[in-house]
Homo-oligomer: A and B are copies of this chain.
Amino acid sequence: MTDSHIAEFEQDEEYSLNADLIDAILSAVEAGHQGRLIALLEPLHEADIADMLEQISRSERENLLQLWGHEIDAEVLSELEQGIRDEVMRALPDALLAEAVRDLDTDDVVYLVEDLDPPQQKNLLGKLDDADRVAVEQALTYPDHSAGRLMQRETVVAPSHWNVGQIIDYMRAAEDLPEVFYDIIIVDPMMHPVGDVRLGLIMGTAPEVLLAELMTDNFRTIPVDQDIEHVAYAFNQYHMVSAPVVDENGRLVGVITIDDAMEVLEDEVEEDMNRLAGLRDEELSNKVWLTTKKRFPWLAVNLFTAILASLVIAQFAETMEAIIALAVLMPIVASMGGNAGTQTLTVAVRAIATRDLTPANAMRVVRREVLVGLTNGVVFAVIIGIVGFVWFGDAMLGVVLGMAMIGNLLVAGLAGILVPIALDKLGADPALASGAFVTTVTDIVGFFAFLGLAAMLLL
């Protein structure tokens, strides 16, 4: 790596926010130095400015916005996470906000206003041009989380009998081509999309070639009310770059591009990850009280299941009084089961989301999980059996520990795979609450197997 390369890399890193830059911005705000603030923010991408606003404190944010005020870019608003966005939008003077929003594409306006209170929403929409307002209101009629909310309405279409020369002339003459487009959508006279042609392909083809001859194999339409989770899956699975969106009559109403799908895809994986941990749509900038409320339900479920496990333990109070080593050792078996179950569960939840786990291979995967549980169970049974024997000098105690370990890791594998499959079959989200089910099973089985075997074999 040469010096020039290092310099370039660091420069590249400078583009992102770093602590020094944030310090410089905050000290400009504190000094009330508007020129310096604007000079510092000007080279930053809107997404970085939004990140910076999220990372500073509320009072710093207020001061910054006041000083920066009339320069704010609406793109920054669409990059903010919701909590901070609401705060910033409330802090901006009405006229400024309206001016900012008028600069946005309609799909960005939809994103911005869809979660506002109705009066706020109406107020903001009233500030748009008539055409834009109608477009936004139309988009808002589609269900939340649907393709209709995600799509842009601006598309470039052509009939299939056109040739390359005709579409190039058409685009040349067009007043307002969409800001972003990668394909020409080929439509029939009823505006049903029948194929698409990549821009790059048009560039390299002679003017007399028919567009119909250039259409890609990989063409799919998206129903306007399809859940965006399925949209993102299709983009990822089929390496799509853009896809036409059609209404219930199969007519073109818009287009979704890969950059929108990419954000949805990341959100969906993150949602699975969060749900497995018992989190609900939490943002880092949420206040303490909101965060507490959002995390409470999962912890409450866990309290309930922990009490269930304690009820199981209570059945063996006498056994434990006789052999206190049981109380010392019993969390080990339960804890191992919880971890093994979570491993299987995480694999299963992702495999269902990516459609890698289907009825076609479910039985094979279940069998694999059982065998993995059994194998790891035997290995850890030997280890923990020896530990128990050495620690308490009781060979039979080691045997009981080992047997309980095998049983619980087997059950962990089974529960980890069957719970999400069952939730999916019932139409529920496999990630939601499956963690609670699985660890409840492994806790209860872990305590019951260990203490039950001990009661039978050691007393």
- A358 part of interface (Cβ distance < 8 Å): yes
Task: Give the complex CA separation of A314 and B357 in angstroms.
Answer: 43
Q: B-facing mask of A263-289, CB < 8 A → 1, else 0?
A: 101100110111011110010100111
Interface residues on A, range: 35 or more
Q: Across the interface, do A259 and B259 meet the contact criterion of CB distance under 8 Å? A: no
Q: Across the interface, do A317 and B306 meet the contact criterion of CB distance under 8 Å? A: no
In the complex, how many angstroms separate the beta carbon of A254 from the nearest chain B beta carbon? 16
Within 8 A of B (CB), among A285-330: 287-289, 291-292, 295-296, 298-300, 302-303, 306-307, 309-310, 313-314, 317, 320-321, 324-325, 327-330
Most B CB within 10 A of own CB, among A54, A259, A276, A340: A259
Task: Give the complex CA separation of A345 and B201 in angstroms.
Answer: 47
Q: B-facing mask of A34-53, CB < 8 A → 1, else 0?
A: 00000000000101100110
Q: Across the interface, do A220 and B313 meet the contact criterion of CB distance under 8 Å? A: no
Q: B-facing mask of A167-201, CB < 8 A → 1, else 0?
A: 01001101001111110000000000000001111
- A422 part of interface (Cβ distance < 8 Å): no
CB-defined contacts of A355 to chain B, threshold 8 Å: 16-17, 51
Q: Across the interface, do B265 and A45 meet the contact criterion of CB distance under 8 Å? A: no
In the complex, how many angstroms separate the beta carbon of A282 from the nearest chain B beta carbon? 6
Cβ 8 A contact of A262, one of B201, B235, B375: B235
Cβ 8 A contact of A273, one of B261, B276, B447: B276
Across the two chains, which residue of chain B brings its CB closest to A341? B277
CB-defined contacts of A74 to chain B, threshold 8 Å: none
- A92 part of interface (Cβ distance < 8 Å): no
Q: Across the interface, do B223 and A57 meet the contact criterion of CB distance under 8 Å? A: no
Within 8 A of B (CB), among A138-191: 168, 171-172, 174, 177-182
Task: Give the complex CA separation of A278 and B346 in angstroms.
Answer: 9
Task: Give the complex CA separation of A16 and B295 in angstroms.
Answer: 36
CB-defined contacts of A168 to chain B, threshold 8 Å: 203
Q: B-facing mask of A322-356, CB < 8 A → 1, else 0?
A: 00110111111011100110110111001100011
- A66 part of interface (Cβ distance < 8 Å): no
CB-defined contacts of A16 to chain B, threshold 8 Å: 237, 355
Q: Across the interface, do A220 and B182 meet the contact criterion of CB distance under 8 Å? A: no
CB-defined contacts of A321 to chain B, threshold 8 Å: 321, 324
- A458 part of interface (Cβ distance < 8 Å): no
In the complex, how many angstroms separate the beta carbon of A220 from the nearest chain B beta carbon? 7
Q: How often does this chain occur in the complex, in copies?
A: 2
Q: Across the interface, do B289 and A335 meet the contact criterion of CB distance under 8 Å? A: no
Q: Across the interface, do B368 and A291 meet the contact criterion of CB distance under 8 Å? A: yes
- A210 part of interface (Cβ distance < 8 Å): no
Cβ 8 A contact of A5, one of B19, B45, B223, B307: B223
Task: Given A331-B310, A334-B331, A347-B284, decide whether A296 and B376 contact each other with a Cβ distance below 8 A.
Answer: yes
Cβ 8 A contact of A250, one of B8, B237, B303: B8
Task: Given A15-B220, A284-B357, A291-B372, decide whether A336 and B306 contact each other with a Cβ distance below 8 A.
Answer: yes
CB-defined contacts of A274 to chain B, threshold 8 Å: 346-347, 350
Q: Name the segment of A97-105, A116-124, A128-136, A359-367 touching the other chain.
A: A359-367
Task: Give the complex CA separation of A300 and B355 in angstroms.
Answer: 31
CB-defined contacts of A334 to chain B, threshold 8 Å: 331
CB-defined contacts of A336 to chain B, threshold 8 Å: 299, 302-303, 306
Q: Across the interface, do A331 and B328 meet the contact criterion of CB distance under 8 Å? A: no
Across the two chains, which residue of chain B brings its CB closest to A56? B360
Q: B-facing mask of A217-233, CB < 8 A → 1, else 0?
A: 01011110110000000
CB-defined contacts of A273 to chain B, threshold 8 Å: 269, 272-273, 276, 346, 350
Given A299-B339, A299-B376, A306-B332, output 20 extra A-B contacts at Cβ < 8 Å.
Answer: A12-B221, A12-B223, A16-B355, A17-B355, A19-B359, A22-B358, A51-B355, A172-B206, A177-B201, A177-B204, A182-B182, A236-B262, A236-B266, A262-B262, A284-B365, A303-B336, A306-B331, A307-B332, A314-B328, A320-B327
Residue pairs across A and B with Cβ atoms less than 8 A apart, 14 shown, are A2-B249, A51-B355, A51-B356, A182-B241, A236-B266, A258-B258, A261-B262, A269-B273, A279-B347, A292-B376, A295-B372, A302-B339, A303-B336, A327-B327
